[in-house]
C-alpha cells in the first residue's frame, strides 16, 4: 500500500478569528448592497406622495388657468362641479369647459374633446390634449391695489347731467376713479372739478370718454355729478380702489380709439411694458350702443367691473361704459386679451395702471 506523506506545516482549516473577521466583512458588504438597492429603487420608483403632490399641482394649475380666462361661471346641474366659458388664448373663440367630481375621480371636458380624468396617473392623460397652456402667474402681495366697490348710473335719454352715489364701504384714502361715457357732448365736467385730476378725455366722433381720479375723504358729498355742455346720453361709474400709493398712485395711463365704426372692433388690452406684477391694470371703454358679446367685455384674464348702457329709451343706439381689471400686465400671454365686440360702432379705450404703497 502506498502511503501519502502529509506536510506537517500545511494549514488544515481557518482559525476562529479569521472566520469571525470574514463574517463581519460579508455583513458589511450585504448592508452596503442593500443600501444601494434601496437608493436605486427610489430612483426608479418615485415616491407616491411626491407624485401625488405633483399631480395636485398640475390639477390646480389647470383649473386656475381656466378660471383666469373665464368669462362666465355656473354651477353644474349635478351640484358636484361647475362650468366655465373661457376665451381660448390661441383661437380667441369661446370654449365651454365642465369640471365634475365624484367619490373616485375629477373629470374635465372641453367642448367636444375627450373627457380627461384629472386624478388618474399622469402617464394615462399624457396623450389627451385640450389646448391647455399653463400661464405663469404672480400672487399679488398684500400691498397690491384692490377693488373695494363701485357704483354705476346712466340716463335713459338725453340729459346734461348724471349723479352717482358714493361707492359703498369707501374709506378715507381710497382712490376714486370716475369714468364717463357720453354721446354728443364737447366736454364733461365733474362736480368739485378742482379736486379731480383728469387722466384721459378723448372724443371719437359724437362719442366721448372722460376719466379722472381723486382720493376720498370724509368731507365728500354723498353724490358726484357729471355735467355735459349739451344734451347727451351719459353712462358713468365710480370705482373705489383701496391700498393705492398716496404719493404716486398713477403708474401709467394712455388712450386710443378706432378710426372707423367698421374697423378694429376687437381691440387688445392697452398696456405698457412697465406694468409691475403687483400693479392694478384697469382697461376702460366708452362705446356706441351695447357692444359686448354675451354680456361680457370678454378680455381674457381680466375681471369685468362695470357694464352699463345709456340711452335705452332713446331712438338712437345710445352708448355704454365698461371697465375690466387684473393684477399685473398681460403682455406675457401668447395671445393678447381682446375686447369682444358684437356690433359695428365707435369706441374709445383708456388704460390706467395704479401703484400700491411703497414696500
Q: Where are the domains of the chain?
A: 68-132, 146-354
Average pLDDT of the residues in 325-335:
81
pLDDT score of 120 more than 60: no
> What's residue 10's pLDDT?
56
Looking at the predicted structure, is the pLDDT value of residue 157 above 80? yes
Residue 63 confidence (pLDDT) above 90: no
Residues 80-100 have pLDDT tens digits of: 788 887 766 545 567 788 888
Rg for the chain, CA atoms, rounded: 33
Q: pTM score, two decimals?
A: 0.63
How far, in Å, CA of 157 to CA of 329, rounded? 37
Alpha-carbon distance of 22 to 27, in angstroms, equals 9
What would the pLDDT profile of 274-304 be if each residue is shown by its tens digit? 888 889 999 999 999 888 766 788 888 888 9
β-strand partners of 226: 162, 190
Range scoring the smallest mean pLDDT among 68-72, 127-131, 169-173, 175-179: 127-131
CA–CA gap between residue 31 and residue 335 (Å, rounded): 57
| Rounded Cα gap, residues 182 and 233, in angstroms | 6
The whole-number pLDDT of residue 123 equals 38
DSSP helix, strand, coil percent of the chain (3-state; round to 5): 15, 40, 45
Over the stretch 163-195, which tens digit does the pLDDT of each residue have?
Answer: 999 999 999 999 999 999 999 888 999 999 999
**Phi-psi category of residue 169: left, alpha or beta, with phi > 0 → left and psi -120 to 50 → alpha:** left
Distance of CA 254 to the CA centre of its chain: 21
143: closest CA among 229, 240, 72, 249?
249
User: For residues 185 and 203, what is the distance between their CA atoms, to the nearest angstrom?
Assistant: 9
- Cα 238 to Cα 46, 107, 209, 211, 305, distances in angstroms: 54, 41, 14, 10, 10
Per-residue pLDDT, averaged over 120-147, amounts to 50
Contact residues for 183 (Cβ-Cβ < 8 A; gap 6+): 206, 207, 208, 232, 233, 234, 288, 310, 311, 316, 318, 319
Provide the 8-state DSSP code for 274.
T
Reported as a pLDDT band with limits 50, 70 and 90, residue 343 is: confident
Lowest-pLDDT range of 76-85, 134-143, 150-159 = 134-143
Amino acid at each position: 500500500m502506498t502511503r501519502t506523506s502529509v506536510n506537517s506545516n500545511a494549514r488544515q482549516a481557518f482559525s476562529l478569528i479569521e472566520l469571525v473577521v470574514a463574517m463581519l466583512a460579508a455583513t458589511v458588504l450585504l448592508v452596503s448592497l442593500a443600501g444601494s438597492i434601496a437608493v436605486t429603487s427610489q430612483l426608479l420608483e418615485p415616491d407616491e406622495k411626491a407624485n401625488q403632490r405633483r399631480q395636485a399641482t398640475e390639477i390646480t394649475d389647470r383649473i386656475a388657468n381656466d378660471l383666469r380666462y373665464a368669462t362666465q361661471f355656473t354651477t353644474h346641474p349635478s351640484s358636484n362641479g361647475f362650468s366655465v366659458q373661457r376665451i381660448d388664448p390661441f383661437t380667441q373663440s369661446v370654449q365651454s369647459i365642465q369640471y365634475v367630481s365624484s367619490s373616485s375621480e375629477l373629470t374635465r371636458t372641453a367642448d367636444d374633446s375627450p373627457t380627461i380624468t384629472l386624478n388618474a396617473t399622469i402617464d394615462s392623460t399624457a396623450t389627451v390634449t385640450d389646448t391647455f397652456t399653463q400661464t405663469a402667474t404672480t400672487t399679488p402681495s398684500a400691498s397690491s391695489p384692490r377693488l373695494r366697490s363701485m357704483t354705476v348710473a346712466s340716463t335713459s335719454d338725453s340729459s346734461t347731467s348724471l349723479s352717482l352715489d358714493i361707492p359703498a364701504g369707501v374709506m378715507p384714502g381710497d382712490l376714486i376713479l370716475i369714468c364717463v361715457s357720453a354721446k354728443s357732448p364737447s366736454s364733461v365736467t365733474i362736480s368739485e372739478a378742482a379736486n379731480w385730476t383728469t387722466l384721459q378725455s378723448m372724443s371719437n366722433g359724437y362719442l366721448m370718454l372722460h376719466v379722472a381720479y381723486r382720493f376720498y375723504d370724509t368731507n365728500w358729498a354723498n353724490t358726484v355729478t357729471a355735467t355735459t355742455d349739451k344734451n347727451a346720453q351719459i353712462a358713468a361709474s365710480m370705482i373705489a380702489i383701496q391700498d393705492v400709493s398716496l404719493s404716486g398712485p398713477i403708474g401709467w395711463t394712455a388712450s386710443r380709439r378706432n378710426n372707423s365704426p367698421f374697423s378694429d372692433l376687437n381691440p387688445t388690452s392697452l398696456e405698457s411694458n412697465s406694468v409691475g406684477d403687483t400693479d392694478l391694470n384697469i382697461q376702460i371703454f366708452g362705446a356706441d350702443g351695447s357692444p359686448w358679446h354675451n354680456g361680457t367685455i370678454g378680455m381674457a384674464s381680466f375681471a369685468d367691473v362695470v357694464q352699463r348702457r345709456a340711452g335705452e329709451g332713446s331712438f338712437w343706439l345710445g352708448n355704454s361704459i365698461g371697465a375690466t381689471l387684473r393684477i399685473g400686465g398681460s403682455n406675457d400671454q401668447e395671445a393678447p386679451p381682446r375686447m369682444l365686440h358684437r356690433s359695428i360702432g365707435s369706441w374709445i379705450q383708456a388704460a390706467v395702471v395704479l401703484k400700491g404703497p411703497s414696500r
